[in-house]
Amino acid sequence: MDRIRIRGGRPLSGEIKVGGAKNAALPLMAAGMLTDDRLILSNVPRLADIATMTLLLEQHGLAVEPLTEDGRMLSIGGGIANTEAPYDIVRKMRASILVLGPLLARAGEARVSLPGGCSIGTRPVDLHLKGLEQMGARFDLDGGYVDGKVDGRLHGARIVFPFVSVGATENLLMAAALAEGETVLANAAREPEIGDLASCLVAMGARIDGIGTDKLVIQGVDQLHAAEHDIIPDRIETGSYACAAAISGGSVFLRNARLEHLGATVRILREAGVEIAQEDGGLMVTRLNGLHGADVMTEPYPGFPTDMQAQFMALMSVAEGASMVTETIFENRFMHVPELNRMGARINVHGASAIVRGVPCLQGAPVMATDLRASLSLILAGLAARGETVVNRVYHLDRGYEAVEQKLAACGADIERIS
């Protein structure tokens, strides 16, 4: 199993190209199920989760074909030949549940395994099922599978989410595009990835109002058609490499990064002493002086994202003063804390909050990655630590970060992957 070895203490300097957003690419790939015509996606990231979604779509009968040698442009299309999403594929990635809405909208039935993925907390699919039930679907749970059926077509409904759910918003948005009549999604998620999906659906012929707001109004159409769509850059990758520049005391240009997608992340990083400036083609991130403690609470967009919590905690572990990090989205998302403390961090967890007291320097140590974002937080800590850090179980990392060791090494980090 691969590991990543870092020898810390080198300020980063140079340029990192931010890739396409994983959390946009996965629902966009699922949207390819909504038509027999071709959906062409560009700026596709090369990640393990993309490969998993490719396998899932192919076993449903679709053709997923790379149009360029590097695989960054994909053609998705074809009829649905199989309506079962099997456990062996779905267990690898929670985003697999996103095929449920398209299957019901196109084929009138679906058998989808309950999803797996990172063990950072229970992410129930209740909101997906309840919303689809309001649109006319019927469900049974059988042996770890969700069995769904529709008599005829799904129909429009007014659906009010009791709390913001990105996945449920995406699933119901795709289903509503082909439903009969009008669907209203109230208290919908507003993440940039939702807007990206909605924009792609509109290009395919969907009728959607309210893009970018918490109220989406969809007028169902009989069919969608071919389209081409360029995936937005990954805002979590942007934030992660901004933390890398800051924790190393360096200066990095993040090509393709978009300031308007960062929400509260940019405000919090600036509060902590990180300079972020919009320039032509991307963002320049610099730490000119010391880091200062800052408090954060994870919230739905445009609040501070839960997917940046672990990276920000690593940054605060070497900041002057104390910080409080409160996690409101996932209940098990502090599993990186013991590993950071092994490196000399001073972090105490009290329920849903962690108190981080900054230390002058971390010490290299062997550590274990527990989930995708925790993997990157340990690499960040290794960049700032004295001595050698070895991060084990980096298969989590490969689900959401492409060639992270190569990108950091190109900016002067002493980092390598050990097979």
Q: What local confidence, expressed as pLDDT, does residue 121 receive?
A: 44
pLDDT digits (tens, 9 = 90+) for 380-395: 999 999 999 999 999 9
As a whole number, mean pLDDT of residues 48-74 equals 95
For residue 89, what is the enclosing H or E element?
helix 87-90
Beta strand pairing status for 73-77 and 296-297?
unpaired
Distance between CA 34 and CA 104 in Å, rounded? 10
pLDDT digits (tens, 9 = 90+) for 128-139: 999 999 999 999
As a whole number, mean pLDDT of residues 230-252 equals 98
CB 80 within 8 A of CB 62: yes
Distance between CA 111 and CA 205 in Å, rounded? 27
Asked about 118 being catalytic, the answer comes back as yes
Out of 118, 200, 243, 411, the active site residue is 118
CB hemisphere CA count around 394 (13 angstroms) = 25
Distance between CA 117 and CA 272 in Å, rounded? 32
Q: What local confidence, expressed as pLDDT, does residue 260 receive?
A: 96
As a whole number, mean pLDDT of residues 42-69 equals 96
Distance between CA 4 and CA 378 in Å, rounded? 10
Nearest to 31 by CA among 231, 216, 171: 171
**Peptide bond preceding 192: is omega within 30 degrees of 0, i.e. cis?**
no
As a whole number, mean pLDDT of residues 338-345 equals 98
pLDDT digits (tens, 9 = 90+) for 99-153: 999 999 999 999 999 875 444 344 578 999 999 999 999 999 888 899 999 999 9
Q: What local confidence, expressed as pLDDT, does residue 144 receive?
A: 86
pLDDT top residue among 181 and 122: 181
Question: Going along 241-345, which residue ranges are E strands?
Answer: 251-255, 275-279, 282-286, 296-297, 322-326
Count other Cβ atoms within 10 Å, centred on residue 380.
Answer: 30
As a whole number, mean pLDDT of residues 186-213 equals 98
